[in-house]
A and B are shown apart, each in its own frame.
Chain A
């Protein structure tokens, strides 16, 4: 398989994943996108092994390592800070469902943290994971440029 064919395949898989995500939301079946995501990743890994041209070597490995390290250095601080905030909110009130009755007459219902609110943390953390991908791509582009990935010379078509 040629390198460009591999990149084209990866793009098609990514588009398919977006479509399946939408379908998964429509039919309310989360397992659909979960399985599709894992299959998509496996497909891309298998296709990468079949690329005839060399697409990885010590320089690309170094670029990947540096980008991953910088991403992790920034991400864990942001993620931990936000998770700390979430933990403070979670521990500041009793966690759980509202009791089935409001309690003795004349007393207010206990102030508990609604479970759907806890679920919103998961969504927020997922958004952070998306941010991590953008961060990684940004660093990857920076180091790729620094180590001559986009340089051209007289031999290039």
Chain B
């Protein structure tokens, strides 16, 4: 599953450490999600989306939607 966390992080001028602290997870978890090595739980996905003020679909691209430009 692809995601656009890095983009939203850049838009909000946040470091991985900063976002991790806001969400209550480790920095390595943010890094693993960004690199696509770990798919977050539904709860964490909602937390991320709410933190950036967008929907989950705006951040996480599942299956065919990931291929869209």
Q: Is B one of A's binding partners?
A: yes
Q: Across the two chains, which residue of chain B brings its CB closest to A59?
A: B29
A153 and chain B: residue at smallest CB distance: B31
Residues from chain A with Cβ under 8 Å of B35 in the complex:
148, 151, 153
* Cβ–Cβ contact A149 & B24, under 8 A: no
Question: Do A147 and B38 touch across chains, with their CB atoms under 8 A apart?
Answer: yes
**Beta-carbon contact of A149 and B28 below 8 Å:** yes
Q: What's the tally of chain B residues with a CB closer than 8 Å to chain A?
A: 20
| Cβ–Cβ < 8 Å partners of B28 in chain A | 59, 148-149, 151
Asked if B25 contacts A59 (CB within 8 A), the reply is: yes
Please pick, from A54, A147, A151, the residue contacting B24 in the complex, using a CB distance under 8 A.
A54
Q: Give Cα A97 to B16, complex, Å.
A: 67
From known contacts A148-B28, A155-B16, infer whether A58 and B37 are also in contact, taking CB-CB under 8 Å.
Answer: no
Judging by beta carbons under 8 Å apart, are B26 and A60 in contact? yes
Q: Nearest-CB distance from A123 to chain B (Å)? A: 39
